[in-house]
Amino acid sequence: MTSAPSLVDSFGRTMRDLRISITDRCNFRCLYCLPETEEAANFYRDRFVPAKAKEINYSWKPKSQFLTYEEIERVVQVGAECGISKIRLTGGEPLLRRNVDRLVAKLVAIPQIEDLALTTNGFLFAQNAEALRSAGLKRISFSLDSLDAGNFERITGRDGLKLVLDAIKQARELGFSPIKINAVVMRGLNDHEIVALANFAQEQEVIMRFIEFMPLDSSRAWQKDHVVSKKEILERLLERFDLEDIPPAHASETARRWRFRNGSGEIGIIAPVSEPFCGNCDRLRLTSDGKIRTCLFSLHEHDLKPILRGEVSEPDLQATLRGIVSKKEERHHIGETDFVQPDRTMSFIGG
């Protein structure tokens, strides 16, 4: 039960989900986010209009500009009083930040938070897994765009497939549940692995999420032609698997979901490009340097850090959040002539 007015935008949507990026740094260089490898350059050179691509230009924020764990805890506590009940910790790669288990323990202790999860590329999971589980983390998501070692390195810029597969195994052994696997599907890169990834989900009894390629890459080379749509992904899956539709648990679910009729595991498809779900969006994002983003594709951010570091009361901070939410965009404009890609890429925003 909340003790303050809910966070409701001008379109009547109530915010219940807060995605928190705790660092902008990442130890991967994925093609759809921070493509700085030779493989990435070759992929974009061969497939995208050269004039559209831009020189990669990003710089990490000084660590002194990151919110402290105590400041993050305060934002979550204030949000929880206004109805936020679901938290996801992201990055960059969140496990590059030290003592993430300490933050997890703080957030688990907030009574109104019903769902706390973390998304990781898995590279550093082994060193952190037991501490995270002991701190109270139950849900974990891994990024896994390929099951082929060579293609994995081509996509991520790192030779790390075995580490990620070992991380998924360790998560199961430690009792994390559910375990979700996120795969961004790009035509000509990993779309030939859709069936293999679905097989993996069935064999490992995990939840596979196929995600459409979104315009959040730092090279600004995204084109809609290289999006593999939800319709196409599902058609490929139905050719191979007998799937049963899973009705959404609530209207704001981002994924359409299916279960295997003859086995365990689950498939989901997140289709922000071909089938936007903006009308039921209940999400806010907090960047590592303290900016609130009301949409993944927002062109404007709202700086909470000066407020958090000033002498502002909890009711005033709640009022600030409600004012920010009132400005939430109706929808994104991907694929439309007036679409403008955000200055910050996925690594800086948080997924």
Spatial CB neighbours of 150, under 8 Å, sequence gap ≥ 6: none
Question: What pLDDT was estimated at residue 49?
Answer: 46
pLDDT the model gives residue 104? 98
Is there a contact between 265 and 205 (Cβ–Cβ < 8 Å)?
yes
Q: Is the dihedral of CA 97, 139, 201, 197 positive or negative?
A: negative
State the helix-helix crossing angle for 161-173 and 149-156, rounded to 10 degrees.
Answer: 100
pLDDT reported for residue 206: 96
Tell me the whole-structure pTM to 2 decimals. Answer: 0.89
What phi and psi, each to the nearest 5 degrees, are found at residue 284?
A: -125, 160
- Predicted pLDDT of residue 78: 97
**CA 349 – CA 291 distance, rounded (Å):** 9
DSSP 94: G
List domains and CATH numbers for the chain: 17-179+278-349 (3.20.20.70)
Q: What is the pLDDT of residue 252?
A: 86
pLDDT at residue 51, rounded to an integer: 41
| Per-residue pLDDT tens digits of the chain, which is 351 residues long | 457 899 999 999 999 999 999 999 999 988 877 655 455 455 544 554 444 444 444 555 677 789 999 999 999 999 999 999 999 999 999 999 999 999 999 999 999 999 999 999 999 999 999 999 999 999 999 999 999 999 999 999 999 999 999 999 999 999 999 999 999 999 999 999 999 999 999 999 999 999 998 765 544 555 777 899 999 999 999 999 999 999 998 888 989 999 999 888 999 999 988 887 888 999 999 999 999 999 887 878 999 999 999 888 999 999 999 999 999 989 875 666 666 666 666 556 665
- Selection from 275, 245, 241, 278 nearest residue 259 by Cα: 245
Q: Where are the alpha helices (DSSP H) in the chain?
A: 38-47, 69-81, 100-108, 125-135, 149-156, 161-173, 194-204, 230-238, 305-308, 314-325, 346-349
Q: What are the beta bridge partners of residue 210?
A: 183, 269
